[in-house]
Amino acid sequence: MSRTASLQRKTSESNVELTLDLDGTGKSSISTTVPFFDHLLTAFSKHSLIDLTIKASGDTNIDVHHTVEDTAIVLGQAIKQALGDKSKIGRYGDATVPLDDALARAVVDVSGRPYLVHKGEPAGFEFHLIGGHFTGSMVRHVFEAISLNAGITVHVTVLDGRDPHHIAEAEFKAFARAMRKAVEHDARVDGVPSTKGAL
């Protein structure tokens, strides 16, 4: 069964076209007109092994916020669509990833219940302009949009770090590795991995 999705979201603020394959090899083609966000999404694809193609544009002359948020919304929706009935998946995933000075942990539950716990970023991180355009506060916002639209529980904790670029990238890589485990098929799972019989 193909676990793919292809979606488009067009508003007065942005236009997002996205395709993904949960059973890919980490190939990506990312162009959101927000360079650091492209960098983060490319890392997410590579380390989750989710093939990802994104073409997005928007009113970045005002702020990158709308384009980044809408891209994350579509990514979450696509993950949910591609998961289908969630049969035979591992459901849970966790990873702790270092990047030089930074260390981040992510834990994922493909639960059908959207929830985000995000903590540990150093004081002032949310105000830092990474690459001169991507505000640190957007990192949490991206995880929130993905979680809400994919219907997954996500815990991301920054355990250490000084450089904002490293911190953000470690968070995305940890999330990617956790997602890889959570969405992978497990041959020992019969049906949906829940005592309720549905996720």
The domain that contains 19 carries what CATH number? Answer: 3.30.230.40
Per the domain annotation, does 70 fall within a domain? yes
Per the domain annotation, does 113 fall within a domain? yes
Per the domain annotation, does 133 fall within a domain? yes
The tens digit of pLDDT for each residue in 163-199 reads 999 999 999 999 999 999 999 999 999 999 999 989 9
Q: In which residue are the tokens 């539950």 written?
A: 109
Per the domain annotation, does 20 fall within a domain? yes
Q: Is the pLDDT of residue 1 over 80?
A: no
Number of H helices, E strands in the chain: 4, 10
Per the domain annotation, does 195 fall within a domain? no
Cross-strand pairs, 103: 98, 160
Per the domain annotation, does 82 fall within a domain? yes
Q: Distance between CA atoms of 107 and 123, rounded to whole angstroms?
A: 23
pLDDT band at residue 132, thresholds of 50, 70 and 90? confident
The tens digit of pLDDT for each residue in 29-52 reads 999 999 999 999 999 999 999 999
Per the domain annotation, does 194 fall within a domain? no
Containing structural domain, residue 98: 4-183
**pLDDT on residue 194:** 93
Q: Where are the alpha helices (DSSP H) in the chain?
A: 35-48, 65-83, 137-150, 164-183
Per the domain annotation, does 126 fall within a domain? yes
% of residues, the chain, pLDDT over 90: 97
How many domains is the chain built from? 1
Report the side by side order of strands in the sheet with 153-160. 92-99, 102-109, 153-160, 115-119
Answering whether pTM is above 0.85, one says yes
